């Protein structure tokens, strides 16, 4: 990690330091100091510079420490080129400080680019800042400076700081901030550590440098434009970047928000957490810094965002409504921040799916690593629950630790006491089917044995007529294609709402019903289809009586459900729209027009269906259509349109 802890001795006029005094001025303990000394000496050695000598608890500092920022960041400025967005970010940040007069020539030197490049970057930066009403102005006397109509210039500084690479971009900024006073960032670092101690918080390791540099920017600007609010802003930043422990008193309103979010997740996803308290405390620890980040515009870029959206698509959609209690306090929540909540709840919801012991496999190919990677990709699609730890050439097989894998897939025979499956680099569907069926049989894996296309055709052939111009060969090809259809990631996540709410499950009533009667009537199609047992309906009613109107999703919709073990035979849903609103728990505050009974078999299979319901809840027009529908075909059409099928 880049740090500044030893700067106070490195840039001192004293060249000999006693260990006792070093620990006093750096606030480090002996162990940390020795570790940092070793790390620094390694960097100096790489650049063929004289190292710090440490003997008999005396440290000797070398005389010449020129270009030390290059040593600190382990880079050579001559060897890197800044990207366009990074240059624009740096121009903004250097101008933001306004610690000195900056001209085109100065920016050229800092960014090591031509005058035309600087002019082009400034032009694009000005365009980028237009919507925030921030102008990058220039005068002979002041050089470049910011002109703004609101306080967004600080928010923008944080935004641009996130655009800097950890090495090149941060190196330029660090060099700029330390140029006038070589201990400028060190002093801020000491200030942060002292404040952390007073507040009893810890900044997350990976967020420390951005916190340090932003605080240094604010303090550098404050030397010219004193700002009484700066300490409050730094305090909010530190909490936002902390691990959430010990930051907020326990009677804080965030407890209420956390509880409401938990309640929403359980309602919208129709799940119960195995350990409510543990999940709640984890949420609270995350919510506290998240609240300060979002409210003060210190949001973090989430490098896992796209992966989370793909792999947890349903939960990602549900989270938009589940976080409404937080939104009401902080305003809109970015996708990046929402994704962090998905990680938190996803870990609990999907842990059963991933907690069982997974088979570990290696892939060997006589043609080398490239071919084995192709094989690995195909096998991952074929066996998604298996962990493929390595793909490599056969020549490397003997070097692999035997305890690191359970199964071998190989293009050539290899000697091993583990199970070896031979296969082609590009197996045909028939070979893939055989391999798939054999694995299921050998390891009792969940799934069904896939018949071959030829077996299916042979079974149905006596009962069908293939008309010209089609042929049996065409039919065989189509069956084969259907059998081996590779689902997209989005399709893997569960059953769609339109698959569950079919015509026979959608009903309407104009009778005046009590809430128990309404639940019984809504669940009736599921009983008729033997998808639930009668006791499941009573379990729902008993739970509502015991825990209150927890099934009320708001906006006139209720999601009655109980536990799978209360009588669920298979995943199912039913729909009942009531012309006359039903008072849940006989309470006028919980009037329900639409009951959607859910029979879930686990915590996750139904999430995709509920994500569609969540999208409808967040769309007033679509919700109104659903609440006023009078025919099953209307409901089906709404669901299909929401799912993008029509």
Q: How far apart are CA 627 and CA 578, in angstroms?
A: 9
User: How far does Cα 622 stand from its chain's mean position?
Assistant: 28
- Coil vs helix vs strand at 130: helix
Q: How far apart are CA 427 and CA 485, in angstroms?
A: 15
- Coil vs helix vs strand at 361: strand
Among 207, 216, 217, CA closest to 238: 207
Residue tagged active-site, from 153, 561, 590, 606: 561
Among 561, 639, 553, CA closest to 602: 561
Nearest-Å Rg of the Cα atoms of the chain is: 32
Cβ-contact 142, 130 below 8 angstroms: no
Is 561 among the catalytic positions?
yes
- Strand-pairing partners, residue 184, are none
Residue 155 phi/psi, 5-degree rounding, is -60, -40
User: How far does Cα 390 stand from its chain's mean position?
Assistant: 26
Secondary structure (DSSP) of 55-85: ETTEEEPPS--TTHHHHHHT--GGG----HH
- Strand-pairing partners, residue 103, are none
Q: Do strands 407-410 and 360-365 pair parallel, antiparallel, or not at all (unpaired)?
A: parallel
Cβ-contact 574, 505 below 8 angstroms: yes
Crossing angle of the two packed helices 152-161 and 208-222, in degrees rounded to 10: 140
Q: Do strands 419-422 and 506-509 pair parallel, antiparallel, or not at all (unpaired)?
A: unpaired
**Count of residues in the chain:** 646
Q: How far apart are CA 610 and CA 132, in angstroms?
A: 37
Order of all β-strands in the sheet with 407-410: 387-393, 360-365, 407-410, 419-422
Cβ-contact 459, 604 below 8 angstroms: no
Q: Which structure tokens are listed for 398?
A: 């003997």
Positions marked catalytic:
561
């Amino acid at each position: 990690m880049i740090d500044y802890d030893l700067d106070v001795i490195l840039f001192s006029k004293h060249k000999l330091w006693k260990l006792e005094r070093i620990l006093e001025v750096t606030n480090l303990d002996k162990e940390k100091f020795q570790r940092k000394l070793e790390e620094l000496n390694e960097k100096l050695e790489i650049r063929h510079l004289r190292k710090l000598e440490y003997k008999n608890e005396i440290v000797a500092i070398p005389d010449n420490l020129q270009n030390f920022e290059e040593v600190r960041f382990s880079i050579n400025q001559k060897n890197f080129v800044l990207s366009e967005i990074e240059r624009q970010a740096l121009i903004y940040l250097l101008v933001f400080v306004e610690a000195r007069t900056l001209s085109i020539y100065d920016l050229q030197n800092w960014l090591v680019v031509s005058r035309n490049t600087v002019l082009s970057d400034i032009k694009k930066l000005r365009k980028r800042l237009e919507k925030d009403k921030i102008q990058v102005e220039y005068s002979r006397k002041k050089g470049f400076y910011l002109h703004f109509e609101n306080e967004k210039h600080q928010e923008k500084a944080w935004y641009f700081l996130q655009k800097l690479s950890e090495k090149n971009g941060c190196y330029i900024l660090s060099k700029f901030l330390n140029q006038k006073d070589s201990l400028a960032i060190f002093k801020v670092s000491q200030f942060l550590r002292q404040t952390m101690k007073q507040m009893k918080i810890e900044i997350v390791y990976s967020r420390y440098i951005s916190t340090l540099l932003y605080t240094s920017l604010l303090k550098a600007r404050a030397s010219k434009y004193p700002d009484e609010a700066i300490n409050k802003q730094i305090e909010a930043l530190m909490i936002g970047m902390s691990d959430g422990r010990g930051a907020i008193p326990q009677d804080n309103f965030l407890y209420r928000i956390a509880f409401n979010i938990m309640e929403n997740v359980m309602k919208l996803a129709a799940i119960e957490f195995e350990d409510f308290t543990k999940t709640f405390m984890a949420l609270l620890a995350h919510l506290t810094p998240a609240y300060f980040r979002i409210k003060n515009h210190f949001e973090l870029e989430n490098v896992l965002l796209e992966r989370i959206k793909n792999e947890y698509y349903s939960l990602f959609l549900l989270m938009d409504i589940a976080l409404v209690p937080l939104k009401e306090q902080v305003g809109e929540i970015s996708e990046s921040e929402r994704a962090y909540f998905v990680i938190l709840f996803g870990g609990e919801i999907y842990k059963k799916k991933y907690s069982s012991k997974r088979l570990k496999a290696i892939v060997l190919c006589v043609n080398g690593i490239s071919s084995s990677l192709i094989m690995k990709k195909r096998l991952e699609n074929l066996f998604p629950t298996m962990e493929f730890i390595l793909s490599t050439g056969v020549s490397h097989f003997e070097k692999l630790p035997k305890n690191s894998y359970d199964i071998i897939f190989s293009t050539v025979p290899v000697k091993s006491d583990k199970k070896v499956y031979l296969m082609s680099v590009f197996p045909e569907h028939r070979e893939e089917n055989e391999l798939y069926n054999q694995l299921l049989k050998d390891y009792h894996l969940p799934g069904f044995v896939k018949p071959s296309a030829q077996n299916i055709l042979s079974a149905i052939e006596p009962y069908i007529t293939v008309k010209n111009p089609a042929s049996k060969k065409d039919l065989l090809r189509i069956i084969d294609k259907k059998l081996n259809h590779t689902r997209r990631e989005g399709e893997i996540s569960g059953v769609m709402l339109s698959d569950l709410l079919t015509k026979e499950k959608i009903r309407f009533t104009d009778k005046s019903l009590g809430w128990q009667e309404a639940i019984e009537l809504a669940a009736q199609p599921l009983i008729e289809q033997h998808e639930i047992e009668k006791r499941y309906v009573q379990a729902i009613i008993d739970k509502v009586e015991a825990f209150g109107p927890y099934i009320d999703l708001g906006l006139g919709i209720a999601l009655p459900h109980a536990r799978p073990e209360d009588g669920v035979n298979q995943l199912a849903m039913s729909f009942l729209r009531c012309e006359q609103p039903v008072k849940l728990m006989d309470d006028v505050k919980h009037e329900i027009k639409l009951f959607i009974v859910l029979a879930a078999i686990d915590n996750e299979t139904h999430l995709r269906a509920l994500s569609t319901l969540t999208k409808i809840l967040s769309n007033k027009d679509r919700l109104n259509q659903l609440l006023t529908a009078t025919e099953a075909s209307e409901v089906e059409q709404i669901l299909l349109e929401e799912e993008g099928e029509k």
